[in-house]
């Protein structure tokens, strides 16, 4: 079941122009997760991610601490909820956190895509799914 909260919805709201950037952003995360699956988590920690002290870098460090997806979810939700961010930037951080949870669970690229795509909004999510799965069955809204 997906819960709903008016305050959170308001906080996540962003413009159409901003939403248009999300599929590309999600694809970037999927590629990064591919690299992680090939080289292991240690190949990313200590590499370029260290330069970006964002929640993704910290999330990966917490995965390597062996924290379970449930624990990570609680910790990362606290970081997000107590942050001062709103709008597009908040939404981007939420997508990062969803990706961290997927990586912590050992999700495949396909499963991760299905978890992240809904953040782009229904229309863009279907387009993204279609673009990422050219051989798969076409899904229409």
Partner 1 sequence: MIINALCELHRNLNLEPRKGGTERTKAGPGRKSSAEGQAQAQAEQLQSRFAATPKKTAIYLELAARFVLSVSQFQKEGRERIVAAAREERRRLLKFSYSLIASSTTPELVRQAFHSAGLSSTAGYPDECESEMFITGTRLAIAKAHPVVIMRTMTAYLGLQVFDQVESWLLEHFGQQAKEDEELIIPGDLSEILSENRLSPGQIDQAVRMAGQQLTAASLAGCSRQTIDLVKSLAYSRLGGALLDWNIREARSRLSSDELSDAQSAFMELLGSLDEASPTELRQEAWSSGVDESLVADISGLILELDEKVLKSVVAGLEPALLASLIQAMEPIAHDRLFSCAPSSRSKKILNALEATQMLSLNELTRRAQLFAQKVLSELAPKTRRGAARSLQLPASLRQHLTSILSRE
- Would you count residue 112 as binding partner 1 (CB under 8 A)? no
Place of tokens 């962003």: 14
* Nearer of residues 92 and 129 to partner 1, judged by Cβ: 92
- Would you count residue 92 as binding partner 1 (CB under 8 A)? yes
- Would you count residue 40 as binding partner 1 (CB under 8 A)? yes
Burial group, residue 99, by CB count within 10 angstroms (0-12, 13-18, 19+): buried
* Nearer of residues 118 and 132 to partner 1, judged by Cβ: 118
- Would you count residue 94 as binding partner 1 (CB under 8 A)? yes
Which among 113, 118, 116, 106 has a CA at the least distance from the CA of 132?
Answer: 113
Instruction: Report the C-alpha gap between 48 and 34 in whole angstroms.
Output: 15
Positions touching partner 1 (CB under 8 A) are 1-5, 7-8, 14-15, 17-18, 20-21, 28, 36-43, 45, 51-55, 58, 61-69, 71, 73-89, 92-94, 97-98, 101, 103-106, 115
């Amino acid at each position: 079941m997906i819960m709903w909260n008016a305050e959170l919805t308001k906080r996540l709201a962003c413009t159409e122009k901003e939403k248009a950037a999300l599929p590309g952003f999600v694809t970037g995360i999927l590629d990064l997760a591919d690299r992680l699956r090939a080289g292991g988590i240690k190949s990313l920690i200590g590499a370029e991610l260290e330069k970006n002290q964002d929640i993704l870098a910290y999330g990966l460090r917490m995965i390597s601490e062996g924290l379970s997806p449930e624990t990570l979810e609680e910790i990362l939700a606290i970081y997000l909820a107590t942050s001062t961010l709103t709008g597009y930037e908040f939404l981007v951080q939420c997508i990062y956190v969803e990706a961290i949870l997927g990586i912590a669970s050992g999700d495949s690229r396909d499963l991760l895509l299905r978890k992240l795509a809904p953040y782009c909004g229904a229309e863009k999510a279907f387009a993204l799914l279609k673009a990422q799965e050219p051989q798969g069955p076409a899904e229409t809204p």
